[in-house]
Structure 1
Amino acid sequence: MLPSLEMQRPVLEFCSMDFPVLDSSLHIGEALDLIRKQGVREKIIYFYVTGEDGVLEGVLPTRRLLTEPLEMPLRDCMIRRVVAIPTKATLLEACELFVLHKFLAFPVVDERRRIRGVLDVGVFTEEVLDFAEHERMDDLFQTLGVRSSEIRSASSSRAFVLRFPWLLSTILGGTACALLAGAFSETLEKQILLAFFLTLVLGLGESVSAQSIAVTLQAMHKSKPTLLWMIGAVRKEFVTSVLLGGACGGLVGMIVYTWKHDWLAALSIGGSVFLSTISACLLGVLIPAISRVLKLDPKIAAGPLTLAIADICTLSCYFGLAKMLYAILA
């Protein structure tokens, strides 16, 4: 929904001043002739009927104007009970009327019932969509470890303080991956083919993990992450990860075998993709949920941290499985 301060603004600020007004003394035919001469704006929902001094007397829906006999007076076919918004009302009060009456537009009138503008339901849909877009952008930035609202207004030094701590998780994760690769240097030297697919395997792990984070954060918007919820989410994500891992692992294995005709390398690389996809999916569920339990903002904590841990798990699966398979089957 819209911010509370926005909803407290006067309704007149959002009104359209281009609205059709018909005199109550006219007949349907005369009214149609007048509309043809004066022209109307593109979107007309209701025609408002006024009497002396511009006082609102009724409203005439477009369908009724087009279907009633031409000789019928407007007074006889207009709707006299008109729900109007007072000029002193706020946008929030106007919104309540739209929800209550389900109309597409309301006239805004002063103390003497003279029309001062028309409020269209499109005002709310446009404002809500604009705010929803802002929320989506803020969610995107937060999964990267920053808040867009804070960064925009921050000085250079403040922006550094906000962003650098979360980048440390990436630095530490990358360092851990380098040390891990060093520990398996002998395996890498014997099977240089593993180096060719290292970027692909890491990229797949991060992509799957990012997808799981997005799904989990969206789910936590609607429900509190209890233990029962977490068990259900992990179970569902595990099944999904097995399917994703099987598809990605099988495809990558086929690519390796087609290229190098090495079934052991295909089994090793494809199998590591399968295992790393499962671990990345589960991390994408567990870390945001645990962050919420620990009173941390899951959007900020989950992004960099999950991706760093996913990289470490991916490399562990990649090199560990290769070393084991080559030791047993080579």
Structure 2
Amino acid sequence: MIRDAATLSQPVSRHVKPVETTIQADLTIADAIRSLRSRKIGQTVVYFYVVDGDNRLVGVVPTRTLLLEEPTRAIRDVMIGAVISINADMTLELALELFAMHRLLALPVVDADGRLLGVVDVQLYADETFDLAESRRRDDLFQLMGVSLEQARHAKAILGFRLRMPWLTANIAGGLICAAIGAAFDDVLAKVVVLSMFIPLVLTLSESISIQSMTMSLQFMHGRDVPWKQVRQRLNREWKTSLLLGVASAIMVSTVALLWVRGGSVAPVGVIGLSIAATMVFAAMEGALVPVLLHAARLDPRLASGPLVLVLADILALTTYLGLGTWWLL
């Protein structure tokens, strides 16, 4: 179990386990399965790593592929070539970062020439063993791993301050930008007071749907590369869902807003309803895209997405709301 920074600085080579389930790249699927069955495998089977004749790591084969692909196909043709691995001289801290970031159950360890030395698995973190098929237990472990890493790194208050203050600074900057936007539209707020009453609600709905979309995008940001096909499908589904949610929310809020303008102009109610529908779509798309763009830039979307998504959602929502109000009502 990780308890201090000294443990994190240990080389990962001290925790390497041998791999009993390697497969030669030049074998067929049928030959690979026969080879695996002939061995006395005593460890938990997590991944099937593929090596060449010099024991260099060249890929990984999913269990599904071994079971369902044609037995005559070559392992080299069906393996996944992009394998996340670590060098033997890297630290335990880096290994645990990769576990938490990519939600992997094991990491292959290679030498300077790319030869497979063994694996480290998530049980180097957990004292107890657990069922790898229990997704809830697995998710809890990854979350706890991230918390323990940060606690070990930032045991001192000043280090914790340095870790967390940048994100609070981002929120402060976003708030100041929104204050400036409000000042730029002070004419419409002064003349149509009812608009100012609904600013908190417009921002809350925008923030909520942006965080929902962000959370769903993070679920498939695991590998090294961005799954652009999934991203396109996700965005296509998200704008439709957010439009339905926006329209439903706009109808409910507009109905309540009518009570405040009873006997007066209903134009502000139209601004409120249309703004809610539009900002919820904008915020949902922004929340879905930010993790993708951060991942494409090789930044950790789990660390940076939250503050950035909220700040952008507030700016988009307030600008749309007050801009539409100025255009329509003044």
Partner of 1:158: 159
Displacement of 1:152: 1.7
Tell me the secondary structure at the aligned position of residue 225 of structure 1.
coil
Partner of 2:216: 215
Change (3 A) 1:251 1:287: same
Change (3 A) 1:293 1:223: closer
Partner of 1:149: 148
Task: Pick the aligned partner of 1:133 from 140, 158, 162.
Answer: 140
Whichever residue aligns with residue 225 of structure 1, its letter is: V
Q: Is the 8 A contact 1:202 1:311 kept in 2?
A: yes
Partner of 1:286: 289
Partner of 2:314: 311
Partner of 2:42: 93
Partner of 2:190: 189
Partner of 1:271: 274
Partner of 2:299: 296
Displacement of 1:148: 2.5
Whichever residue aligns with residue 141 of structure 2, its letter is: H
Displacement of 1:244: 1.1
Tell me the secondary structure at the aligned position of residue 208 of structure 2.
helix
Displacement of 1:220: 2.0
Larger deviation, residues 273-282 vs 165-174: 165-174
Partner of 2:237: 236
Partners of 1:282 and 1:299 lie apart in 2 by 17
Partners of 1:280 and 1:149 lie apart in 2 by 32
Partner of 1:177: 178
Displacement of 1:222: 7.0
Q: Is the 8 A contact 2:206 2:280 kept in 1?
A: yes
Partners of 1:298 and 1:209 lie apart in 2 by 14
Q: Is the 8 A contact 1:205 1:311 kept in 2?
A: yes
Displacement of 1:7: 10
The answer as to 2:198 corresponding to 1:225 is: no
Q: Is the 8 A contact 1:249 1:274 kept in 2?
A: yes
Change (3 A) 1:216 1:126: closer
Larger deviation, residues 147-156 vs 166-175: 147-156
Partners of 2:162 and 2:224 lie apart in 1 by 32
Tell me the secondary structure at the aligned position of residue 131 of structure 2.
helix
Partners of 2:162 and 2:147 lie apart in 1 by 14
Partners of 1:302 and 1:248 lie apart in 2 by 25
Displacement of 1:162: 1.0
TM-score, scaled relative to structure 1: 0.57
Partners of 1:174 and 1:130 lie apart in 2 by 38
Partners of 1:93 and 1:254 lie apart in 2 by 66
Partners of 2:149 and 2:44 lie apart in 1 by 30
Structure 2 unaligned residues grouped into runs of 5+: 1-12, 18-39, 47-62, 64-127
TM-score, scaled relative to structure 2: 0.57
Displacement of 1:136: 4.1
Displacement of 1:225: 2.2
What are the within-5 Å matches in structure 2 for residues 7-156 of structure 1? Answer: 93=42, 95-96=44-45, 124-125=130-131, 129-136=136-143, 148-153=147-152, 154=154, 155-156=156-157
Displacement of 1:137: 5.7
Q: Is the 8 A contact 1:209 1:306 kept in 2?
A: yes
Partners of 2:234 and 2:328 lie apart in 1 by 32
Change (3 A) 1:165 1:264: same
Q: Is the 8 A contact 1:257 1:265 kept in 2?
A: no
- Please report the RMSD computed on the Cα atoms of aligned residues, expressed in angstroms: 3.2
Larger deviation, residues 217-226 vs 184-193: 217-226
Tell me the secondary structure at the aligned position of residue 220 of structure 1.
coil
Displacement of 1:264: 1.1
Whichever residue aligns with residue 95 of structure 1, its letter is: T
Displacement of 1:279: 0.8
Whichever residue aligns with residue 307 of structure 2, its letter is: P
Partners of 2:185 and 2:328 lie apart in 1 by 14
Q: Is the 8 A contact 2:225 2:296 kept in 1?
A: no
Q: Is the 8 A contact 1:180 1:316 kept in 2?
A: yes
Tell me the secondary structure at the aligned position of residue 219 of structure 1.
coil
